[in-house]
Structure formats: structure tokens, C-alpha cells
Structure 1
Amino acid sequence: MTWSFSGVLADVRAIWRGERDLLVRVASVFFFLPTLAARLFLPMPNLEGATREDLPRVLSEWLAGQGGWIALQLVVLTFGSGLILVLLLDRARPTLGQAMIRTLKLLPLLLIAWTCVLFAMALGSMLLFVVALYLGGRGFLSAAAVVMRPERGPFAAVVDSVRLTARRGWMVAALAAMVFVASYLAALIFGIFAEAIVQGGGSPMLQAPLEILTAAASAAGSLAMVLLQAAIYRAATVPSSGM
């Protein structure tokens, strides 16, 4: 593999320019709308006045009441990510309808693969944050591997991701972290302003545009992550003799 930081970003830009209309439509349905719905209708845990000892109880009660909706949102986001990967990576160039059917069949595999990666990152975070970041970089291509070789199963897909990112783990982690931090900060800024309006008793008409911008920033980050994964997977699977 001889792929580079600049080469991956150039491919992301090329994918965006070539498929922008389709990507915006898919991201609007599977990234933007679920995020906006969660922000508008999913109550956040009430941490006001909670002590450090109370925090686990408050969070567990909140998860018990809202965990199902959170899980549903994650499933929809995973489906959207898988759908975009199918549209971008499948050499058969399926229609949107065909891609949705294929993604639905792949959804359990995608969920298992990402659960494995997140579990590894959680274990790594017990040591150091950078360990979790590195493990996330090594497992970053798991969903793409599931899409391209589903017959091997989700665990083999994680192994494939580790193999494809050999000697590039830190670069992949840095690219993913860059996208995540940018989208998180944008969403955080809009979210702070929206919360300030709520706390100040402001009009919902003022809050709504900020909630939309917050969801849009989060959705843009999710889309960028998928495009990054597609570009890295394509670069990592190109034979060296062909580069």
C-alpha cells in the first residue's frame, strides 16, 4: 500500500463532487432526520444538582427509559452508513432500491462488526485515550469490509480492516479524529446556543434553526466519516502494481 493522506482526501472530494445529489438525499434521511428528531424529542438526563454518587443512578434511569430510542437511532445511522458504502463500493452499481435491500440484509453483520470495534476501543480507553484512538483507526474499515465480502462474516471483516490498515493505523485514526472533532465542535457550538435560548426562556422559533444547524453539523460529520471510509478502503485494496 502506498496510499497517502492527501490522496485519500482527494478521493473524498472526488466522490463528493461526483455523487453529491445522491449523498445529500441519503444523508438527509438516515443521518439528519434521526439526529434532529433525537434533539427535539429525546429528553436529556437531568443532571442538575446530581452529585458524583448520584450520577450512575441518574444515567442508568435515563438509559432505562430512553435506551430503546437511542438504539433505534444507532441502527438507522448504521443502515445509512452501510447504504452509502454499498452505493459507492459495490462494483455492480446497484440502484438506490437495490442498495437498500442489500444493506438491510447486511445490517446485522454491520452492527456486530461495529460493536466489536467499539468494544475494543472501550477496552483500550481503560489504558489510554490514544490506545482507543489507534484501535479505532485499525478497525475503521470494518463496515466497508462487510459490504465487500459479507460471506466472510463480521469478525473476519474486523480482521480484514486490521490487515488493510497495517502501518497506516495512526494515519487513519488521525483522519477520522479530524472529521469527528470538526463536526463535534460545530454541533457543540450550535447546541450551546440552542440550550442558552431554552434556559433563558426564549422563543421556540429562535431555538428551532439552531437545532436544525446542530443536527446538520452532526449529519455532515457522519457523511464525511463514511466517505472517508470508502476512500481509504478503495486506496487500501488497490494492488501496488496498479498504483
Structure 2
Amino acid sequence: MAKFDMGAAWEDSVTLLKSHTALTGTIAAVFLFLPTLAVSWFGPVPIEPAAGATFEQMMASFRESARQAVPYQLLIAVIAAIGGVGILRLWLSRSSVSVGDALNFAVKMIPTMIAVQLIMGLAVGLIAAVLIVPGAALGGAFGMLLLFVGLLAFVALCAYLWGRVAVVSPLIADRVQYNPLAALQEGWALTRNNGWRIFLFLFLVTLVVGITGLIVGLVVGAVAGTSEGIGRILTGFVEAGFAAVSGIVTLAIAAATYRQLSIRGGSDIFQ
């Protein structure tokens, strides 16, 4: 199988981002930007530990903040999934598709997307149990060494899995694949011998977008603060804007990767 070309994939990503701009921009605004903005403004505020708090108290504050945020994040994830699959459908369809048709298709695919995420979550959990739990349970110097090696292996395997399943969402959107196991199998076959190259491509783009968002967030936080009022309003805009931009860029590079591998595999022809 031919090697994945990162340069060509980036050029195709830019082409996709420029296509259907008005339609994809509208979907991104409604399904990526607005939900994040609403949660940033009206959702729970992270609990800050009191001055001089112990490590246990800080961890308790963090756990409580995470517990309060989970329902909102799950809602955002479902809404973003609908918008994401809708955008992928517009980009990858070989015939004219309206926004309504694309979103209707995305809603039908929600069970498949959730099932894929659950399967991947289970796989990552099993890997963690095999690689991390033994060292943590053993204790002592040897246990710490085993835990360190296990953590390194866990990170490496997760990175590899990221590259191997990167095209599953665009594959589902393009091939109308309702079976999550079949979608994962087909995506795994498409990325054969290219897992690390795809991971590197995704990682580099994500890193650049993440650093840019972090810098903008820090500047806004330093100027306006993060307290109630104008600070929270501006911070919410930055978070929502970053969610929309990073989301649509991630979709574009995944779709471009899928298009390249599909064409080389001889199974599809994109216009």
C-alpha cells in the first residue's frame, strides 16, 4: 500500500475548508460554536480550591468540577457529532446534498457514532488495565518502573490507534456504514501501514491549533480576567471560537486523509 502523503493531505484539507464555505460555516456555528458558548456562559463554573488547600482538597475540587461538567460535555459532544457528520456528508458526497439532507443523515448516524466511541473507549480501557494496573498494584521500586514503562507503552498505543481509526467518521459519512464494527474494520484496513504517519499529521495540526488557541485564551484572560461579567463573556467567545475552528479543521484533515487513502485503495473516486 502506498505511503500516506501529509503534504497532499494538507492541500486537500485546505480545498475542503474552502468548499461549501457558507453551508459548513453555518453548521459549524450552530453545532460547534453556539453549544460551547452557551455552556461557557451558563454552565457550571469550575470550583477553585481555597487558598492553602491540601492536595486531597484540590483533587476533591477537581473531581466535583468534572462531575458537574460531564452532562454538559456529553450534550456538546452529541450536538457536535451531528454537525460534524453533516459537514463530512457535504464534503464527501458525490452528488448534490442540501444542508437539511446532510443533517438528517447525521441524526440517523448518531447511534453508530456513539457505538464507535464506546468500542474505542472499551479498547483503551482494556489497554490501560493491561499496561498500567499491574505496575500500580505491585508498588515498590520495581512497580514504579513497571508503571512508567506501562504508561509509555499506553501513550504509544493510543497514538497509534488514533492514526488507525482517524478515517472512521468520514468513512461512515461517505459509505453510509451503520455497523460500527464494520466501520472500524474498514477504517483499519484503509490506514494499514500508515498509522504512524497519519498520527504525526494529526498531531502536528492539532498542536498548532492548540497552541494558537492557548495563546489567544491567555491574552484574553490577562486582559479581561476570568471572573463573572465581561471576563466570562469574552472567555466564552474564545472557547467557542476555538471549538468551532479546531472542530472543522479536524474534520477537514480526517476527510482529506480518507479521500487520499480511498483513492489509492481504488475503491472510490472523488470529484
TM-score past 0.5 threshold: yes
| 1:159–1:59 CA distance, 2 compared to 1 (3 A) | farther
Q: What is the aligned partner in structure 1 of residue 148 from structure 2?
A: none
SS in 2 for 1:137: helix
Query: Which of these two proteins has the greater Rg computed from alpha carbons?
Result: 2
Q: Which moved more, 1:75-84 or 1:141-150?
A: 141-150
Alignment partner of 1:235 is 2:260: yes
Deviation larger for 179-188 or 91-100 = 179-188
> d(CA) in 2 for partners of 1:179 and 1:112?
27
Q: Structure 1 residue runs of 4+, over 6 Å off?
A: none
CA change 1:145–1:52 in 2 (3 A) is: farther
RMSD: 2.7
User: 1:192 Cα deviation (Å)?
Assistant: 2.8
Q: Percent identity?
A: 24
- Residue in 2 aligned with 1:198? 225
- Other-structure match for 1:220: 245
**CA deviation string 1:156-197 (max 9, x = no partner):** 211221111111111111121122222222222233344443
CA contact (8 A) 2:49 2:58 kept: no
* TM-score, scaled to structure 1: 0.85
Whether contact under 8 Å (2:32, 2:83) holds in the other structure is yes
- 1:19-76 per-residue CA deviation (whole Å, 9 max, x = no partner) reads 2222211111111112222222223432424543345543443344332211101111
What TM-score, normalized by structure 2, do the two folds share?
0.77
Closer/same/farther in 2, CA of residues 204 and 171 from structure 1, 3 Å limit: same
Deviates more, 1:164-173 or 1:61-70: 61-70
- 1:16: which partner in 2? 17
Confirm or deny: 8 A CA contact 1:35 1:218 kept in the other structure: yes
Say how many residue pairs are matched: 241
Unaligned runs of 5+ in 2: 133-150
Deviations 1:113-137 (A, max 9, x none): 1333344445556533232111111
Q: Which residue of 2 aligns with 1:146?
A: 172
The equivalent position to 1:94 in structure 2, one of 97, 121, 143, is 97
Conserved in 2, the CA contact under 8 Å of 1:144 and 1:230? yes
Query: Matched residue of 1:161: which SS?
Result: helix
Structure 1 counterpart of 2:11, one-letter code? A
Question: Which is further off, 65-74 or 111-120?
Answer: 111-120
Question: Which of 152, 162, 167 is 1:136 aligned to?
Answer: 162
> Structure 1 residue 79 and structure 2 residue 82: aligned?
yes
Match status 1:179 vs 2:180: no
Aligned amino acid, residue 241 of structure 2:
A
Distance in 1 (alpha carbons) for counterparts of 2:9 and 2:48: 42
Q: Is the 8 A contact 1:117 1:136 kept in 2?
A: no
Answer yes or no: is the 8 Å Cα contact 2:47–2:64 preserved in 1: no
- Cα 1:215–1:158 change in 2 (3 A) is same
Q: How far apart are the structure 2 equivalents of 1:11 and 1:204?
A: 41
In structure 1, what is the equivalent of residue 111 of structure 2? Answer: 108
- 1:120-135 to structure 2, matched below 5 A, reads 120-121=123-124, 126=132, 127-128=151-152, 129-135=155-161
Inter-CA distance 119–58: structure 2 relative to 1 (3 Å threshold) = farther
Quick one: structure 1 residues 174 and 18, their matched pair in 2 at CA, closer, same or farther if it must change by over 3 Å?
same
Deviation at 1:207, TM superposition (A): 5.5
